[in-house]
């Protein structure tokens, strides 16, 4: 492994947002550890000759899958971007216990255990970054997405709290909170429902995956060296 390169983990690298972030990281020349569950990240660009890209398949909605990932993941990780997520759309009382447990495991438990796995190395180096892609619903909540709003709200407070704890060790922890972004997660919406949402957004349109990736890359850069414990809203003024 080339020790001069940063080792970056992208959790959820095959999703629309995770894949866009991954493409930007490839251009920076990071050694990449790319987590996915069902679909391998489709990278239609060439890496440079010394760049390492490792694919890690695991279902993070249960403990067995999480342990599988941790067994494959080295502790020498410099930066982690959590871009994974799954929503449950429907009445809260109609959720099964299994669905509730899976949501908590995917969005909360997995974030905790992966962070705990890599933090000791970051503390040793006195440098490191954790970035979570959260959601507008983690701040304002959403009817029929109560569970998703709850776990994303948990992530927002995780960022604020952990940033205070790790700041003295030179580690920055931040979030990017998307609003309505054009991704597969919103494909369940009808055209009429999309138009209603757009009318509520001051910039009168959905965001793109590039908008989220650009914000993540800003937080990773030296331009954001004095920013920690923050959540950047990328929502077109929706909230």
Q: At what angle do helices 16-28 and 209-220 cross, to 10 degrees?
A: 40
Is the pTM here over 0.85, yes or no?
yes
pLDDT of residue 3: 47
Specify if 51 maps to a domain: yes
Specify if 198 maps to a domain: yes
Specify if 125 maps to a domain: yes
Residue in 33, 36, 121, 148 annotated catalytic = 148
Confidence band of 4 (pLDDT split at 50, 70, 90) = low
Across the range 204-233, mean pLDDT stands at: 97
Specify if 2 maps to a domain: no
Asked whether residue 58 carries a pLDDT value surpassing 90, the answer given is: yes
Specify if 47 maps to a domain: yes
Specify if 178 maps to a domain: yes
Asked whether residue 173 carries a pLDDT value surpassing 70, the answer given is: yes
Partner residues linked to 80 by β-bridges:
9, 130
Specify if 49 maps to a domain: yes
Specify if 239 maps to a domain: no
pLDDT per residue over 22-55, tens digit each? 999 999 889 999 999 988 888 876 666 688 999 9
Instruction: Quote the domain boundaries for residue 230.
Output: 7-234
Helix (H) or strand (E) holding 159: helix 146-166
- Share the mean pLDDT of the chain: 92
Longest dimension (CA), the chain: 53
Residue 226 among the catalytic residues: no
pLDDT of residue 239: 77
Residue 187, domain CATH: 3.40.50.720
Number of domains in the chain: 1
pLDDT of residue 2: 42
């Amino acid at each position: 492994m080339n020790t001069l390169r940063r080792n970056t983990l992208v959790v959820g690298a095959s999703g629309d947002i995770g894949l866009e972030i991954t493409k930007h990281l490839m251009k920076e020349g990071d050694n990449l550890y790319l987590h996915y569950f069902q679909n391998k990240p489709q990278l239609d660009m060439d890496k440079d000759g010394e760049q390492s890209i490792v694919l890690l398949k695991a279902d993070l909605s249960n403990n067995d899958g999480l342990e599988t990932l941790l067994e494959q993941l080295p502790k020498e990780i410099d930066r982690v971007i959590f871009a994974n997520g799954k929503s449950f759309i429907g009445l809260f009382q109609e959720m099964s216990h299994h669905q509730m447990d899976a949501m908590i495991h995917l969005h909360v438990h997995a974030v905790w255990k992966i962070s705990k796995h890599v933090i000791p190395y970051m503390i040793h180096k006195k440098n490191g970054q954790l970035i979570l892609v959260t959601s507008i619903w983690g701040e304002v909540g959403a009817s029929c997405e109560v569970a998703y709003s709850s776990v994303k709200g948990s992530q927002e407070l995780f960022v604020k709290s952990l940033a205070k704890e790790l700041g003295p060790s030179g580690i920055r922890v931040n979030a990017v909170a998307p609003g309505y972004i054009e991704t597969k997660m919103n494909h369940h919406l009808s055209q009429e429902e999309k138009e209603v949402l757009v009318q509520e957004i001051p910039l009168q349109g959905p965001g793109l995956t590039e908008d989220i990736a650009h914000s993540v890359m800003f937080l990773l850069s030296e331009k954001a060296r004095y920013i920690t414990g923050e959540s950047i809203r990328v929502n077109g003024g929706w909230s």
